[in-house]
């Protein structure tokens, strides 16, 4: 278990090592559902839920099944972790999808194809893998997942706000859409670099 | 029916997975700090793409349609594990610098996208060509991005310092914001090229 304080872990995950701007995780939904603030928030909420659940489930699997020596002296199943993790996350997403469809059909409509695609949201798998690569404890892992997801919400909400106002502006035709979005994201990432070294 | 040549070339430009469809962007932005990393990632992804396309195409008759996505994911994850172990065994340095993004090939939406939209409906040979075309298109885009960023940010290409390049190095380009900005400019250039072409036509 590394020697990290909880506030340090939270601060690092939200600001310094922001999932989107510093780690490049979850770029597809970040660009795909950031055209409007309300859908961005919905996607962010789905990510928080799935991310924390993913770490809560993958952590015990890693430690009690896959870690070298977990099942017996000579058994090392750690090469299976990629396959195991992605299957757990895929099933989780199905669950979230079923629940949302029943409870909040409006939001389900709005998120459209991106909810099934949360399976291929690399932020979820990335954070689950990072939590065990950094050898965090179970509790630290959960906090890390929640803070990373908050970082994702922060990034996508800021970006959605910018894109909503970009739509009112007169952007040159060949820059409109994806190109200007990437350049805006680059400027946002520069702003986030200002947090480097914070809490370290 | 599309010809084989057409299937191959559309991945390079007209349906380029990165520049046109904006798929698989996380590794595109994350590992293109140098041309070498970009090439390594491109080849690894192409291998997974071709292999999974082949297997998905081979079993397309026996997969029940409700179960297809989990099955495709397991197939892709298997090949990713193979790549991960091979890189760790033979290219340790590359494996270290690509780090987290090797296991994350499994969630590259481009690969699942090709399985779902092409390999599950086409024969073995066409799926192979499709995987190769998309993979080469992906690799070339990564290589372009990696080269631009390495030249501007580190004054080098493939780790070799460029002689006679007196422009100051802009560190920003090898840092995260540079990835977003460079890709934004690439997309812009592509739009300009397209516009010029339609005007001439």
Task: Say yes or no: B44 contacts chain A, CB-CB below 8 A.
Answer: no
Q: Of the ranges A41-45, A106-110, B5-9, which one carries the lowest mean pLDDT score?
A: A106-110
Q: What is the 3-state secondary structure (H, E, C) of chain A?
A: CCCCCHHHHHHHHHHHCCCCCCCCCCHHHHHHCCCCHHHHHHHHHHHHHHHHHHHHHHHHHHHHHHCCCCCCCCCCCHHHHHHHHHHHHHHHHHHHHHHHHHHCHHHHHHHHHHCHHHHHCHHHHHHHHHHHHCCCCHHHHHHHHHHHHHHHHHHHHHHHHHHHHHCCCCCCCCCCCHHHHHHHHHHHHHHHHCCCCCCC
- What confidence category does residue A115 fall into, taking pLDDT thresholds of 50, 70 and 90? low
Q: Residues of B with CB below 8 A from A187's CB?
A: 177, 181
Residue B20: helix, strand or coil by DSSP?
coil
* Average pLDDT value over all residues in chain A: 84
B69, B112, B192 ranked by CB distance to A174: nearest: B192
Pull the structure tokens for residue B71: 């099955």
B108, B176, B185 ranked by CB distance to A189: nearest: B176
Q: Among B179, B171, B173, which residue's Cα sits nearest to residue B141?
A: B179
Q: Among A122, A125, A136, A148, which residue's Cα sits nearest to residue A16?
A: A148
- Contact at CB, B103 and A82, closer than 8 angstroms: yes
Give the residue from chain B lying closest to A191, CA to CA. B177
Query: What single-letter DSSP state applies at residue B169?
Result: P
A31, A129, A173 ranked by CB distance to B100: nearest: A129
Kindly tell me the sign of the dihedral angle through the C-alpha atoms of A90, B45, A179, B177: positive
pLDDT at A120: 62
Query: Residue A117 pLDDT more than 70?
Result: no
Mean pLDDT of A53-63: 89
Query: Residue A155 pLDDT more than 90?
Result: yes
pLDDT at B16: 84
Task: Say yes or no: B74 contacts chain A, CB-CB below 8 A.
Answer: yes
**Residue A26: inside a domain:** yes
Q: Among B133, B147, B135, B21, which residue's Cα sits nearest to residue B79?
A: B135
- Give phi and psi for A66, each to the nearest 5: -95, -25
**Residue A75: inside a domain:** yes
Alpha-carbon dihedral A156, A161, A162, A167, rounded to 10 degrees: 120
- In sequence order, the β-bridge partners of residue B157 are B160
Residue B1: helix, strand or coil by DSSP?
coil
Q: Residues of A with CB below 8 A from B77's CB?
A: 82-83, 86-87
- What confidence category does residue B200 fall into, taking pLDDT thresholds of 50, 70 and 90? low
**Residue A1: inside a domain:** no
A22, A83, A185 ranked by CB distance to B74: nearest: A83
Residue A70 has a CB neighbour count (10 Å cut-off) of 15
Distances (CA, A) of A43 to A30, A85, A124, A174, B125: 9, 21, 13, 28, 39
- Contact at CB, B191 and A117, closer than 8 angstroms: no
**Residue A162: inside a domain:** yes
Q: Of the ranges A71-80, A165-174, B125-134, which one carries the lowest mean pLDDT score?
A: A71-80
**Residue A199: inside a domain:** no
Interface test with B, best of A20, A34, A179 (most B CBs within 10 A): A179
Report whether B70 contacts B48 (CB < 8 A): no
Residue A121 backbone zone (phi > 0: left; psi -120 to 50: alpha; other: beta): beta
Number of domains composing chain A? 1
Query: Residue A1 pLDDT more than 50?
Result: no
pTM of the predicted model, to two decimals?
0.87
* Average pLDDT value over all residues in chain B: 87
Q: Residues of A with CB below 8 A from B180's CB?
A: 182-183, 185-186, 189
- Give phi and psi for B156, each to the nearest 5: -145, 165
Which residues of A lie inside 8 Å of B (Cβ-Cβ)?
21-28, 31, 79-83, 86-87, 90, 116-117, 119-122, 124-126, 129-130, 133, 173-175, 178-183, 185-187, 189-190, 193
Mean pLDDT of B37-54: 94
Tens digits of residue pLDDT in A178-189 = 889 999 999 999
- Contact at CB, A193 and B25, closer than 8 angstroms: no
A87, A120, A175 ranked by CB distance to B112: nearest: A120
- Contact at CB, A86 and B73, closer than 8 angstroms: yes
Pull the structure tokens for residue A143: 């906090």
**Residue A150: inside a domain:** yes
Pull the structure tokens for residue B66: 């409700």
Residue A82 has a CB neighbour count (10 Å cut-off) of 23
B27, B80, B187 ranked by CB distance to A82: nearest: B80
- Contact at CB, A117 and B109, closer than 8 angstroms: yes
pLDDT at A199: 57
Q: What does the alpha-carbon distance between residue A14 and residue B146 come to, in Å, rounded to a whole number?
A: 27
Triad A26, B19, B8: Cα angle to 5°: 115
Tens digits of residue pLDDT in B101-135 = 999 898 888 898 888 888 988 899 999 999 999 99
* Bigger pLDDT: B65 vs B167: B65
- What confidence category does residue A111 fall into, taking pLDDT thresholds of 50, 70 and 90? low
């Amino acid at each position: 278990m590394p020697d990290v304080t909880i506030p340090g872990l939270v601060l690092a995950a939200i600001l310094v090592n922001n999932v989107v701007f510093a780690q490049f995780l979850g770029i597809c939904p970040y660009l795909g559902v950031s055209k409007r603030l309300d859908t961005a928030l919905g996607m962010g909420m789905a990510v928080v839920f799935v991310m924390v659940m993913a770490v809560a489930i993958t952590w015990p699997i890693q430690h009690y099944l896959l870690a070298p020596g977990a099942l017996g002296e000579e058994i090392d199943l750690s090469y299976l972790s990629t396959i195991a993790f992605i299957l757990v996350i895929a099933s989780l997403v199905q669950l979230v999808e079923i629940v949302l469809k029943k409870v909040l059909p409006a939001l389900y409509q709005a998120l459209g194809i991106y909810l099934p695609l949360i399976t291929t949201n690399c932020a979820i798998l990335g954070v689950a893998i990072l939590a065990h690569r950094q050898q965090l404890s179970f509790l630290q892992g959960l906090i890390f997942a929640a803070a990373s997801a908050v970082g994702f919400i922060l990034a996508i909400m800021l970006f959605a706000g910018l894109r909503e106002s970009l739509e009112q502006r007169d952007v040159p035709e060949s820059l409109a859409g994806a190109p200007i979005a990437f350049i805006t994201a680059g400027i946002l990432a520069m702003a986030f670099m200002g947090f480097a070294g914070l809490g370290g | 029916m599309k010809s084989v040549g057409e299937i191959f070339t559309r991945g390079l430009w007209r349906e380029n997975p990165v520049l046109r469809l904006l798929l698989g962007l996380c590794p595109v932005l994350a590992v293109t700090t140098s041309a070498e990393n970009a090439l390594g990632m491109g080849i690894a992804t192409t291998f997974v793409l071709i292999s999974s396309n082949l297997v998905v195409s081979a079993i397309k008759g026996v997969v029940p349609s409700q179960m297809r996505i989990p099955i495709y994911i397991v197939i892709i994850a298997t090949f990713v594990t193979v790549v991960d172990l091979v890189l760790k065994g033979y290219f340790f340095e590359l494996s270290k610098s690509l780090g987290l993004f090797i296991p994350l090939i499994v969630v590259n939406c481009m690969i699942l996208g090709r399985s779902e939209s092409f390999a599950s409906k086409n024969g073995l040979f066409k799926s192979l060509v499709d995987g190769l075309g998309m993979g080469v298109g992906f690799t070339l885009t990564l290589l372009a991005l990696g080269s631009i960023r390495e030249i501007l940010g580190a004054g080098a290409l493939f780790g070799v310092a460029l002689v006679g390049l007196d422009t100051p190095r802009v560190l920003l380009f090898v840092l995260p914001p540079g990835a977003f900005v460079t890709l934004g400019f690439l997309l812009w250039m592509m739009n300009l090229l397209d516009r010029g072409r339609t005007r001439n036509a």
